[in-house]
Structure 1
């Protein structure tokens, strides 16, 4: 992928293939974030305001994959020769102007033809009624390696493999017992293993030496069996009591110090810039992450990953009381609270 990106950067630097973003249905300039309703207005803007381009800025908002570019009328910035196809422009730069482009790899650009009343794919000449439909069509030419589990598509088999290893929500994540290294593929595997192998339980009661499979069970045992008081974290300034240390630290920083981060659009405060940046998505209309199945858009990649479970036939969460199955943990929790609240402790 990095070679395709380098090829694209060279083409964008030395031709009038104009890169853009498509957060919703408007064409957004990657350099100044101004929006346009059609291709001619966008090209006029690029010709007048961005004659000298900074390619790094063009990639600042690109999260993955190939960059979108208006290739309606490509002109070489060095000699002014024109081209209909972006690959021809790339070959021209390589052979005539000795620019570094590896022609054995993809150019790394999704090419759009955008006239005022006509939107076309610059690869197969297919016409589309709107720019979102055209974008989805063009992606079919590039993202042909599809995950058979969650349906997400990728440009290369290497990207697909990385997705399967680290990101696909439907691939069971293999864990190992820290002590005996036996692979544990599910929560049921872990539960059975720790029931049978007492010595593998990591959490040791400091009073009686009994071992537990998780920290919560150990704390519950120490409180109920040995009368160890629950550990709490009182605020020394205002007396508020917190059950978790991270909640106390966030409270103290936000309420009792000047080190917090204020949202400029509302009154919320955060204990770190990371959480402020995550919050700012709420005030933005940008929804950069699209579901490949139903085209619904989301402001965060995490929210998209959570949404993908809706389209999955795999149901990993089962109610032990009534045998109902769920494909999302939140759905399972809602069910448990609604129908079996007396048997669950969350």
Structure 2
């Protein structure tokens, strides 16, 4: 590889007023450093580029490249010739030191016109611009995976070497790079040297801190080329892109169902295993999903954030409010072909169909009573177990059904949501309203 001599322009000869005294002194120090660096670099030998013969396989290039990586790794262990006088940090190449010194001097002349981020070298700006364009020009010859930065490809290529010379003495886990081992060791020591100056949160790796800082700055540099949506993390963009591509890489080995996200597959597995790791601390009820527990806890606390603007009835879930709104819209799209009855909700329609079929597949093991829905059987079984999971938030009374709790709490709140359409009198339950209508407004009950 041809030796390229580094030249630094003497800014002391520049136009007056372009640089101040401190910057001139700093640049002169850089020039002195680079003169020393040029002398030292001449002693280093770098591998010559491989010349392909006609028809030669690219695997030969990879083998040569892997050998170069091994030699570079060995050289890195023993050679750190270039040291920063400001902070003592060492580098294996002169250009890395020069770039590093620019950081101390505050010199970042290359600025991104998309997000305003600045860089010490134009090459770093070029790499950064691919975040906005989505370009990935560096492809692995082994597996075809592409990268936007050449350095990421080099790191990836080491995976194919198969060598992992850096081993953890705590758990015997091995790594192909020393930096990865250093990061891993912090899991054992608990060290988190990278501290956020905004909130005090600390991290084991600098990259994690960099990602975290975007939560404070609001920066979202990763933009979807399909719909324009932006993300603060590259991983979130990669997951989002599956919505456009339809890719579902996570497949259940039990039933073959595929999922877009790994978390969804993890949740799905609980259907097969029956695992319910989330337990209510109020009644002991278990749930397979954390959000199901969150919604359940609202029933104990009486929290109903979703309120109907037509009648004032409130709901724990937004989906229940959405179904309820169909009552006011008079939408009844589900039609029973047997009796002609219509329904606003699909679940109510399916439940109604069992009336005609007579199917009651859910049988109580205690008394033999059968039910058309699993939920009805579950409620019924509380008669035998004595379970009363629903506690009044105003007194110590408990109930085995949520509907009974709602009805009881209206005694404390004075709420009367059911009104007579004729005299506008209010009632705590629909059954009480029906009795009133039949007695005082018989024409309406027909």
TM-score (norm 2): 0.25
Q: Structure with the greater relative contact order (CA < 8 A, sep ≥ 6): 1 or 2?
A: 1
TM-score (norm 1): 0.31
More helix by share: 2
More strand by share: 1
